[in-house]
Amino acid sequence: MSFIKESAAGTENTPRETEDTGYNYGYLDEQTKRMIRRAILKAVAIPGYQVPFAGREMPMPYGWGTGGIQLSASILGSDDVFKVIDQGADDTTNAVSIRKFFARVTGVETTEKTTEASVIQTRHRIPETPLTDGQIMVYQVPIPEPLRWIEARETETRKMHALEEYGVMHVQLYEDIARHGRIATNFMYPVKVDDRYIMSPSPIPKFDNPKLDMSPALHIFGAGREKRIYAVPPYTEVKSLDFEDHPFSVETWDDCCGLCGAKDSYLDEVILNDQGERMFVCSDTDYCTTRQQEGHRGPMAAREDISELKGTGPKAA
């Protein structure tokens, strides 16, 4: 088996070679990839069901996550255009390292543009730009089991999924409403896929849940530690759990994006200076940058002291 023996650091000047570098094409050995590919196909055939797979213990730089890496390694080829987002950004250290790594071991072309990407690996967000037919989203998932916070035993949650015994999940959510006046879960907000399996959509904000419903793209989720793969095929109904008297709703903001003025995107709060001045900006940097290039301006766009946030300053990576 040919696993990486160096960290992502120092890979920058490594020539883009595959077979003759001693790395296997796509990083995993062929047998492991075949096993993961079979699991992906079963996951697609049983939408929302968690397929166990015999994942590898892989030495990985902290913050990469083995689930998403193993999926991407089994999926990507030289015809692909690969995008990686960490939070909503393409230019964090992790996102840059993962992109470079796959460029090196598969020869894949990379991009920061959602519209150009054929495969997008993500952890926390679904891009704001609508996904299209043929695109594949790869999610890095820490906790795949949506029933885990109700029932710790895998044998029991497996039975609950098998028998569609989801009543206890609804009771818990309802108690959550009774206590907090609303459902307190803003991330990993559970969904029901094709009216059968309850699924955790990874740590995306519930703001992104509606993007999964009838999406033209294929969504594949990988949990490395718990060794689970699950999927939502294109054009599949994905419904966030809710109640008649407490319908599902997404986060909203009173502000718009300070840079591009977007009112429809997920916003992060940024502290600007030590006077505590704050602003809201799009979490999806590609969306925000594209809008600015198209001429959209937010209330803070003219400020000189925030050039780095605007993507015009020196990049952090």
Give the nearer residue to other proteins in terms of CB position, either 236 or 265.
236
Catalytic entry in 257, 258, 298, 311? 257
For 117, phi and psi rounded to 5 degrees? Answer: -80, 140
Give the nearer residue to other proteins in terms of CB position, either 239 or 296.
239
Catalytic-residue membership of 256: no
CB of 265 to other proteins, least distance (A): 26
Six-digit token pair at 315?
């990049």
In sequence order, the 6+-apart residues with CB closer than 8 A to the CB of 151 are: 157, 160, 168
Residue 54 to residue 258: CA distance in whole angstroms:
46
Q: State the virtual CA torsion across 67, 91, 117, 60 in degrees, nearest 10.
A: -20
Catalytic entry in 256, 282, 298, 311? 282
Catalytic-residue membership of 224: no
Residue 107 to residue 114: CA distance in whole angstroms:
19
| Range in contact with Zn ion (rule: CB under 5 A) among 2-10, 182-190, 245-253, 287-295 | 287-295
Is 257 a binding residue for Zn ion by CB under 5 A? The answer is yes
CB of 264 to Zn ion, least distance (A): 10
Catalytic-residue membership of 257: yes
Residue 262's binding partner among Zn ion, other proteins, none (Cβ under 5 to 8 angstroms by kind) is Zn ion
Residues within the interface to other proteins (CB under 8 A): 1-2, 24-26, 29-31, 33-35, 37-47, 49, 51-52, 74-79, 134, 158-159, 161-163, 194, 196-197, 216, 218, 231, 233-237
Residue bearing tokens 């071991």: 105
Helices 66-75 and 93-106, axial angle in degrees (round to 10) = 30
Q: Give the residue numbers marked as catalytic.
A: 48, 257, 260, 282, 288
